[in-house]
Structure 1
Amino acid sequence: MSPQGSASPLAPADTAGPAGADPRSHLLNDSTAEYYRRLVSEGVGRVARTVAGTSRPFTGVTPGELAPLVDGIDLDRPLGDPAAALDELERVYLRDAVYFHHPRYLAHLNCPVVLPALLGEAVLSAVNSSLDTWDQSAGGTLMERRLIDWTAARIGLGRAADGVFTSGGTQSNLQALLLAREEALRLLRKNSPTPPPVSEMLPKLRVLTSEAGHFSVLKAAKLLGLEPGSVISVPCDGDRRMRADHLARELRRCREEGLTVMAVSATAGTTDFGSIDPLPEIAELCQEAGTWFHVDAAYGCGLLASTTRRHLLKGIERADSVTVDYHKSFFQPVSSSAVLVRDGATLRHATYHADYLNPARSAEKRIPNQVDKSLQTTRRFDALKLWLTLRIMGADAVGALFDQVVDLAADTWRILEEDPRFTVVTRPALSTLVFRYSPGADAGGADETAVDLANLHAREALAASGEAVVAGTVVDGRHHLKFTLLNPETTTDDIRAVLDLIAGHAQEHLASSAARRSGSPAA
């Protein structure tokens, strides 16, 4: 902190010390523009130095170590000096953050971000447009709509398509299923001579989805007032893709039992396996059954920009709704997502008019208020990040980055297949691999439960060391490890090194457990 009475180099121009600033000097306006530039430049500089000096994806800090530092900060006693606040920020956040840009971060669907998107983030947060109404966003509204049209065209949804940006895949899936529910209820009322009340129709609604699908489908069903058990899990094949024959069987069973399947939710890129359900076959079954066809492409949407793998999404163009997460496979900062629909008119189910915000007369005058389509009201101009990415890099460059990580996953699968220490569940369609340390005859008699514990220990020990971060999951009742490869800078040398670290931690755990069981002094 600067000494009392001396001006900090980052302080507002009109203050003589940390406690002397006029609160208005912290607002962005014409008189503080230079202060804003210096302040942000210093913050960006510190992040840049941290990123440049990062040698590990994680420090291994534990909640017990970091929580006292955060809890010890008195938020009612401001530091006054921005430099001091940034020093504190380094101690409680920047130093121990998990850095997704590091090539040995291999855990979740978190991507390193492209620089044009970071430029967009800086601009949108300063201007602070709210994308709910035209009179708060003007050009931002039109730019978001243009990107929705661009994405819908890439999917192939047709001229009547529309959509809106969302906070992420969970919100997109929720909104898609809301529209599906309302359309199902509308058709039930239309086709019934004496429409029953909604309270009688809701318990008979069902959603069919893959057993490898995302949990947000279950969450959405609960939020939408559906009955427990309304989401029916459809079995998968050996590649963890929804089985179309089982889906046909469930559609037939529901019809025979007087149940209404309001939606089939297919997945184009499951979280664990990156598997892509057989979209053409599912689309055909949905068309025959008159059922809403939703595709959760939160992960696989990067294929829309690929010049070599777009065919993997064949059938997505027949969807009634599609979820995309640009902040996964388009290398955008969180949040940057959207929900797209084949028939833009169905977005009316999310429309409410308020006289103080978006009165009905605005729609009559064709004023483009995005809140008319969204579950959110106040909403950031997250579309700007993708806009600048496309205008600076272009879609082909984004697709090439995603192709690189899919290629890396294929190479990693071959490495795992050839390594006797590991078993891999399935060949990847995208960039995730689920595998298990399985020492076999070298395990010293360890049973599957002991190997489970060894896999759990290996993941935790690796994270504690900070040398790499991998994910974990359960497959067929057994603990597995998972690589989620979204960094084009990761190499097969990184993969081999991390596999050696995993095996070392697992072997050490098994040896220690065996020694304890035998009562050896080595325990």
Structure 2
Amino acid sequence: MTSPARLAPQRPEATPVTRQNSTTSAVAALLDNHSALDYERAMIDTVVRVSQTMSDCTTPFSGITPERLSRSVAQIDLDRPVGDIPAALRELDQTYLRDAVYFHHPRYLAHLNCPVLIPAVVADAVATAVNSSLDTWDQSAGGTLMERRLIEWTAGRIGFGPDADGIFTSGGTQSNLHALYLAREHTLSRHAPDDARRADALSRLRIFTSTDSHFSVRTAARMLGLSRHAVVALDVDDERRMSVADLQIRLAECRRDGLIPMAVVATAGTTDFGVIDRLHPIADVCTDAGDVWLHVDGAYGGGLLVSPTRRAMLSGAERAHSMTIDFHKSFFQPVAASALIVRDHTFMDHARHHADYLNPERMARAGIPNQVDKSLQTTRRFDALKLWFTLRVLGADAIGELFDAVIDLADEAWSMIEDDRRFEVSAKSDLSTVVFRYRADDSVSPEHIDAANLHARQALSASGAALVASTTVDGATYLKFTLLNPRTTPGDIREVVDLIADHCVDYLADVTDCRVAG
């Protein structure tokens, strides 16, 4: 029986609308040469409303609960249009804009979400209006060439040579999946060149990555049909970097047991700690083990490619077979903008395909530059345009300086919290992450301390004063700042830290009679 909460809302009878009138109205709303002025007015109204909302934003979040906002959204009758864009914008203000999480606010400190650069927003609006699809030349023309040029530019920044290639993707998860798909096919082509041996070889493939690497590595292994034991989790050292010694040991064990090393995934900026694995030593191990595919997940740390001062932190990435970069993180671009870059264009051949209705082989022989044969997607929006436009307006150094600024801020924040006797800090980040926790004296149980830290996070969110993240370090609950806003100041950090301490003190006072620090 259907739950009452799931029943469709009752609504009065709609005024009959003839099909002809409805169709005429819909046609009038299409963006074309007949409606260009309507588009202009609508965009002006929209920009004014969003601009006003952002200008009036005093906190990163309203603190609204899921239950309350769910009721508001559920009341919208999607079968009864409001009739015009101004009315729909007013409604949108109530269902979305008013309660959105605003990453541009200096006290949004939670996840890997960045404020976005205005040139990128402008370019994204252009890409949406023109609506190019980047799968084939006859759907994108110049967009195809611009994306290819950006792939070439990014590959050059990594240190790959002129034979490099790549493709824009929807994000780091897809980029990592694509890289590991190529690694799988590359490895099988060497160990199981015929179908008869493929199934057996597939079950023996192994991926090596640290316990702190992104979950998408494990997701990709499942999607690629590998064994449930395929991902080998390697130890991390005291700095939370992949243990190169453990990598050597586990690779040797893999060979001894008749298994096949498919790939090693090193991380250039772990999600929790923002640390960069030792890329050169890892590349040495991969080479010594028979040129095992090395993938560098640089979704977070890729912004170092444009850093005027810290580019050397990615030294060794040029020795990888492939690399993931998320421009919608440390390049300050709107979602979605990611890329997979490979050192040798022939690596992409493992995914190439031709469809007579889309990119027949005759077009490839004629040199027509189609992108669909390199992508896991078919229809793909022109996400490269925003990075292109940002580079043309601001230049690479300006983007890099923004990333440098948040890394400098994280250094200062880590030192600030380390010196605060109310808190303890975890491993120091190479990038812009700070992992820490409130601590009490020895009379307070670890369970109460964990609960106090989670309470502080939830209380901050409920008040809307700030948003922070949480994670688990060696079984204990920690809080996390992910700093990607160059307008965030040490003063913002200090005030949020004080709020966290106050919430923890209040919580512990309610649940225990123990004396607490501070």
Q: What's the TM-score, normalizing by structure 2? A: 0.94
User: Could you list the per-position Cα deviations for residues 191-211 of structure 1 after superposition, in whole angstroms to 9, with x for gaps in the alignment?
Assistant: xxx885211111100000011
Q: Counterpart in 2 of 1:323? A: 324
The answer as to whether partners of 1:210 and 1:233 remain within 8 angstroms in 2 is yes
Amino acid of the residue matched to residue 361 of structure 1? R
The answer as to whether partners of 1:298 and 1:323 remain within 8 angstroms in 2 is yes
Instruction: Write out aligned runs for 1:151-170 (5 A).
Output: 151-170=154-173
SS state at 1:454 partner: helix
The answer as to whether partners of 1:298 and 1:325 remain within 8 angstroms in 2 is yes
Structure 2: which 5+ residue stretches go unaligned? 1-20
Give how far 1:440 is off.
Answer: 2.3
Give how far 1:359 is off.
Answer: 1.0
Q: In structure 1, how many angstroms separate the alpha carbons of the residues matched to 2:429 and 2:107? A: 19
Identity, % of aligned pairs? 57
SS state at 2:163 partner: coil
Q: Counterpart in 1 of 2:297? A: 296
Q: Does residue 1:73 correspond to 2:76, yes or no?
A: yes
Amino acid of the residue matched to residue 214 of structure 2? H
Q: Does residue 1:371 correspond to 2:369, yes or no?
A: no
Instruction: Write out aligned runs for 1:342-361 (5 A).
Output: 342-361=343-362
Give how far 1:469 is off.
Answer: 0.0
Q: Counterpart in 2 of 1:115? A: 118
Instruction: Write out aligned runs for 1:313-462 (5 A).
Output: 313-440=314-441, 445-462=443-460
Amino acid of the residue matched to residue 186 of structure 1? S
Q: Counterpart in 2 of 1:469? A: 467
SS state at 2:346 partner: helix
Q: Counterpart in 1 of 2:210? A: 210
1:126 to 125, 129, 137: 129
1:145 to 143, 148, 156: 148
Give how far 1:362 is off.
Answer: 1.2
SS state at 1:90 partner: helix
Q: Counterpart in 1 of 2:505? A: 507
The answer as to whether partners of 1:167 and 1:336 remain within 8 angstroms in 2 is yes
Q: In structure 2, how many angstroms separate the alpha carbons of the residues matched to 1:380 and 1:220? A: 23
Q: Counterpart in 2 of 1:270? A: 270
Amino acid of the residue matched to residue 252 of structure 1? A
Give how far 1:446 is off.
Answer: 1.4
User: Could you list the per-position Cα deviations for residues 358-384 of structure 1 after superposition, in whole angstroms to 9, with x for gaps in the alignment?
Assistant: 111111111111001000000000000
Q: Counterpart in 1 of 2:259? A: 259
Give how far 1:20 is off.
Answer: 9.9
Instruction: Write out aligned runs for 1:490-505 (5 A).
Output: 490-505=488-503
Q: In structure 2, how many angstroms separate the alpha carbons of the residues matched to 1:217 and 1:102? A: 31
Q: In structure 2, how many angstroms separate the alpha carbons of the residues matched to 1:22 and 1:480? A: 54
Amino acid of the residue matched to residue 285 of structure 1? V
Q: Counterpart in 2 of 1:48? A: 51
The answer as to whether partners of 1:424 and 1:434 remain within 8 angstroms in 2 is yes
Structure 1: which 5+ residue stretches go unaligned? 1-17, 519-523
Q: Counterpart in 2 of 1:280? A: 280
The answer as to whether partners of 1:218 and 1:231 remain within 8 angstroms in 2 is yes
Give how far 1:439 is off.
Answer: 2.1
The answer as to whether partners of 2:192 and 2:198 remain within 8 angstroms in 1 is no
Pairwise CA RMSD? 1.4
Q: Does residue 1:90 correspond to 2:93, yes or no?
A: yes
User: Could you list the per-position Cα deviations for residues 262-318 of structure 1 after superposition, in whole angstroms to 9, with x for gaps in the alignment?
Assistant: 000000000000000000000011111120000000000000000100010010000
Q: In structure 2, how many angstroms separate the alpha carbons of the residues matched to 1:440 and 1:401? A: 39
Amino acid of the residue matched to residue 222 of structure 2? K
Q: Does residue 1:487 correspond to 2:488, yes or no?
A: no
User: Could you list the per-position Cα deviations for residues 387-445 of structure 1 after superposition, in whole angstroms to 9, with x for gaps in the alignment?
Assistant: 0000000000000000000000000011011000110001111000111111225xxx2
Q: What's the TM-score, normalizing by structure 1? A: 0.93
Give how far 1:19 is off.
Answer: 7.7
Q: How many corresponding residue pairs?
A: 494
User: Could you list the per-position Cα deviations for residues 483-521 of structure 1 after superposition, in whole angstroms to 9, with x for gaps in the alignment?
Assistant: 000000000000000000001111111000015x99xxx
Q: Counterpart in 2 of 1:15? A: none
Q: Counterpart in 1 of 2:227? A: 227
The answer as to whether partners of 1:473 and 1:482 remain within 8 angstroms in 2 is yes
Q: Counterpart in 1 of 2:39? A: 36
Pick which of 408-417 and 345-354 moved more. Answer: 345-354
The answer as to whether partners of 2:409 and 2:489 remain within 8 angstroms in 1 is yes
User: Could you list the per-position Cα deviations for residues 222-265 of structure 1 after superposition, in whole angstroms to 9, with x for gaps in the alignment?
Assistant: 00000001100110111110011111111111011111110000
Q: Does residue 1:22 correspond to 2:25, yes or no?
A: yes
Q: In structure 1, how many angstroms separate the alpha carbons of the residues matched to 2:53 and 2:341? A: 38
User: Could you list the per-position Cα deviations for residues 125-145 of structure 1 after superposition, in whole angstroms to 9, with x for gaps in the alignment?
Assistant: 000000000000000000000
Counterparts in 2 of 1:382 and 1:20: CA distance versus 1, 3 Å: closer
SS state at 2:264 partner: strand
Q: Counterpart in 1 of 2:7? A: none
Amino acid of the residue matched to residue 176 of structure 1? A
SS state at 2:512 partner: helix
